[in-house]
Structure 1
Amino acid sequence: MSPSLFAGFALGFSLIMAIGSQNAFVLRQGLRRQHVFWICLTCATSDALLITAGVMGFGSLTLVWPWFEQAMRWGGAAFLFWYGARSLLAAWRGGETLQTNGSAPAEVALLPVLMTVAALTWLNPHVYLDTVVLLGAISAQYPQPLLFGLGAAIASFTFFFSLGYGAAALAPLFAHPRSWQVLDVVVGLTMWAIAVKLLMM
């Protein structure tokens, strides 16, 4: 596997696995087994479009403003430190719980569900920091930025479809706050490790 492709996959997967409103929505819909395919496809495709915009646009910006690459690298590292601190703080506070019930919920129409997941994706300012700014900036550090972006996009498809279709198996586990704490710790430490590596490039 190409180092650029692997790095893009690893970073993309690390960023996207952080607990957030979008992931919680996908997880809950997966538990309900409602419109899982279309929800996962919408999330993953949105990520792929944003990642492509970041990878394709960052190179031209660095030609116009040579200082922009370094600024984004420092800004990206600062964001990752903050992101990691937020995850570790959530773990320290006790984590979350997945609220589900045993009864089968009523079927919800596809269009409102897709509008909800689209809003959770495109109206979240963090998604632009993660994909367009952060991944776009880091991709310029690799000899094959397009493969880096492809790896990040593959990570999004892998994560969302795994989360959506694997939700039923995770239901008993994520009924306990301790599971969310462990995941938050892993995410926080991963973000900090990536930030340190970014500063050393």
Structure 2
Amino acid sequence: MVFWHGLMVSAGLIVAIGAQNAYLLKQGLSKQHVAVVAGICFLGDFCLMSFGIMGAGSLFAKFPWLSLSLAIVGALFLSVYAYRCFKSAYTGSSAMHLQADQVQKQTRKQVALMALALTFLNPHVYLDTVVILGGIAGTLSMADKWAFLGGALLASLLWFFGVGYGARLLLPWFEKARTWRMLDTGIGLLMLWLAIGLYRYAYVLSTGAAA
């Protein structure tokens, strides 16, 4: 029962569209280093979920400057990423028709660094994996925590690899350059919205600390 509880709670948190999922979807559509991105997303969850569920979720409460620093860095990063998406949508540089010679290639290192940044520079990831899951698991026994963690990690594994490799089912809709422009615009708006939320979060933290 605890295993399935962990799986369902984790799935509810992961499925929400965010920076990780948007980038993973785009890589899945372009068939570029999908395993690298999905693997890094899952590895991030493995580390942070384990960290939170096993009792370290109170760390951010004890050191508010950690949350503030992550919020500022994350907001700046997402702002730059949003600009790049809008630029791609305007110029059509991401548009492709599935032929290998038309796809804008990225090295494995470039893809891995972007995935790492979207995973560890986003305070929302820490909120979901460390604070929320850690808080839910806080009242469980150690044996139940392991079961809860197992369920949470299974949801993460199935979701990230499912999105990454399942994205190719959408390829028929992405044979037109216009669709790619729409995707870039949508991702840009999402990143901008997340960045604004982090700026507000940082402002609230800074004013609270000042008070």
Q: What TM-score does the superposition give when structure 2 sets the normalisation length? A: 0.59
Which residue identity is paired with 2:163? L
Q: Distance in 1 between matches of 2:6 and 2:166?
A: 23
Q: Distance in 1 between matches of 2:23 and 2:115?
A: 7
Tell me, which stretches of 5 or more residues in structure 1 are unaligned?
A: 62-67, 69-98, 181-201
Which residue identity is paired with 1:159? W
- Would you say how many aligned residue pairs link Structure 1 and Structure 2? 139
Normalized per residue, the structure richer in helix is: 2
Which residue identity is paired with 2:125? V
> Per the alignment, do residues 57 and 163 of structure 1 end up closer, same or farther by CA in structure 2, a change over 3 Å counting?
same
Deviation (angstroms), 1:30: 0.3
The SS at the match of 1:42 is helix
**Aligned twin of 2:40:** 42
Determine which of 124, 129, 140 is the counterpart of 2:127.
129
Which residue identity is paired with 2:109? L
Which residue identity is paired with 2:159? F
Verify the 8 A CA contact 1:52 1:149 in the aligned structure 2: yes
Verify the 8 A CA contact 1:58 1:140 in the aligned structure 2: no
**Aligned twin of 1:150:** 150
What value does the CA root-mean-square deviation take over the aligned residues?
2.6
Deviation (angstroms), 1:100: 5.5
Verify the 8 A CA contact 2:41 2:119 in the aligned structure 1: yes
1:109 is aligned to 2:107: yes
Verify the 8 A CA contact 1:47 1:156 in the aligned structure 2: yes
Tell me, which stretches of 5 or more residues in structure 2 are unaligned?
A: 62-93, 187-211
Identity %: 40
1:18 is aligned to 2:13: no
The structure number with the bigger radius of gyration is: 2
> Which stretch of structure 1 is more off in the superposition, 104-113 or 12-21?
104-113
Verify the 8 A CA contact 2:55 2:138 in the aligned structure 1: no
